[in-house]
Structure 1
Amino acid sequence: MSAPVVAAASLRAEHLSREYPSGEGRVLALAPFTHTFPSGLTAVVGPSGSGKSTLLNLLAGFDRPTTGQVWVGGTDLTALSEAQRADFRLAHYGFVFQNHNLVGILSAQENVEFPLTLAGVPPRERQARARELLAQVGLENRAGHLPSQLSGGEAQRVAIARALAGNPAVLLADEPTGNLDTRTGERILALLQGAAGAGRTVVLITHDRDIAARADHHLSVLDGVVTPA
């Protein structure tokens, strides 16, 4: 079963900002910024606490902005209800986290199938798609293993396969190589580059400037201010 062509969808932040209450004042976690994320791999770099994760949470619709909008194609993500945002993410987004966030009681195969199950994909179709994706990340022989039986790099590759299961137009990756050795991190980066090369918009949060240097596009975040890098 071959993967369908990825439908292009622009990802755009318009006057996006986030403030949090703190004591008697407010803390500016992300200063207002406007940016269109092109297809390909965009690396967002900056030190811990700079605002990178705040940015990612806003782009994903996990958090509400203080000002501004997030547009995916012609849809304003910030105008949707919580339930509508969840449905929209399922249809258009894929996510890879630093700690992979696999479901511990599910096998690698079942973890990859999971978003397809939520989307109502028939069993035979989702099983075939999961097998195909596990083969693409080199883990077809680990399909029946639980996350606890996988190495950190293997679990992260399963997480990437799961993120790609629904053929998303937007892929958000938060420090996916942070807990991995250099060689395994390179393999994860290559998989993300492959996803970007298929026409997706991939946003990679990283503190590793060597990893970031391999991206197609670059942004820097410092003290909540986003600038081209």
Structure 2
Amino acid sequence: MTAPSQVQLCAENLSREYPSGEDRVLALAPLTYTFPAGLTAVVGPSGSGKSTLLNLLAGFDRPTTGHVLVGETDLTDLTEAQRADFRLAHYGFVFQSHNLVGILTAQENVEFPLTLAGMGRRERQARARDLLAQVGLDKRGSHLPSQLSGGEAQRVAIARALACNPPILLADEPTGNLDSRTGERVLSLLQGAAGSGRTVVLITHDREIAARADHHLSVLDGVVTPA
């Protein structure tokens, strides 16, 4: 896979609390951590704080304390519109449910972020075809998501995540709905993305999947520790 420009993803004293009646619930205890290039697995049970961490790293949610730094950029200093533009250029996302646009073909789904980024029609079509070939779906570009298997749809989602060649890839339980063989293929694609110099953060509850990562974090009751 094409090597992206490299930037460092850092959490500095990052925490998140939520109100609960007259009390406050600590969803993520203060975390200071620099995510290295390669594949980092964040493992923990449901409700442990994994998704809270991912949402903060992506700038989908604002922290109670601390900062998320991507290179020299502090996400907490950006407006919502600025964060959206920044994510388009610097992040790719893969979710447990592939979140493809149902009325668009596989090819068009991969092209979608390139359209938002202002890439010309011919260039984005060529880029999307190349990415679909990289994930083994060069023959499925004209198919709608409803015509794809779960594993195929997830591979389209990975191609879409890589469309703008982002330095950071965030994956939230991307193998959770897949059988073991298909999940293995998806994991291999994420490992390939990490091997090209990206920072890939993989949220998972599956310790066998996590064991395949280069780096490991464990989350329990909102507390993140090296595993």
TM-score bucket (shorter structure): over 0.9
- 2:104 match: 106
Cα distance in structure 2, aligned partners of 1:44 and 1:33: 13
CA 1:130/1:56 → structure 2, altered by over 3 Å: closer, same or farther? same
Deviations 1:197-227 (A, max 9, x none): 0000000000000000000000000000000
Q: Which amino acid aligns with 2:106?
A: A
> Is 1:198 the counterpart of 2:201 in the alignment?
no
- 1:129 match: 127
- 1:79 match: 77
- 2:49 match: 51
Q: Which amino acid aligns with 1:169?
A: P
Helix, strand or coil: the match of 2:139? helix
Q: Which amino acid aligns with 1:135?
A: A
Cα distance in structure 1, aligned partners of 2:73 and 2:121: 30
Residue correspondences, number = 227
Residue 60 of structure 1: how far off its partner (Å):
0.1
Residue 78 of structure 1: how far off its partner (Å):
1.1
Residue 4 of structure 1: how far off its partner (Å):
5.0
Which runs of structure 2 are paired with 1:186-225 in the superposition (5 Å)? Answer: 186-225=184-223
1:20 corresponds, among 12, 18, 21, to: 18
1:147 corresponds, among 145, 148, 158, to: 145
Helix, strand or coil: the match of 2:125? helix
Q: Which residues of structure 2 form unaligned runs of 5+? A: none
RMSD of the TM alignment (CA)?
0.7
Deviations 1:109-163 (A, max 9, x none): 0000000000000000000000000000000100000000000000000000000
- 2:68 match: 70
Deviations 1:162-194 (A, max 9, x none): 000000000000000000000000000000000
- 1:179 match: 177
Cα distance in structure 1, aligned partners of 2:3 and 2:215: 22
> Is 1:167 the counterpart of 2:170 in the alignment?
no
Q: Which amino acid aligns with 2:211?
A: A
The sequence identity of aligned pairs, in percent, is: 84
Cα distance in structure 2, aligned partners of 1:107 and 1:142: 9
Query: Which contiguous aligned blocks of 4+ residues in structure 1 show a shift greater than 4 angstroms?
Result: none
Q: Which amino acid aligns with 2:147?
A: Q
User: 2:111 touches 2:160 (CA, 8 Å); kept in 1?
Assistant: yes
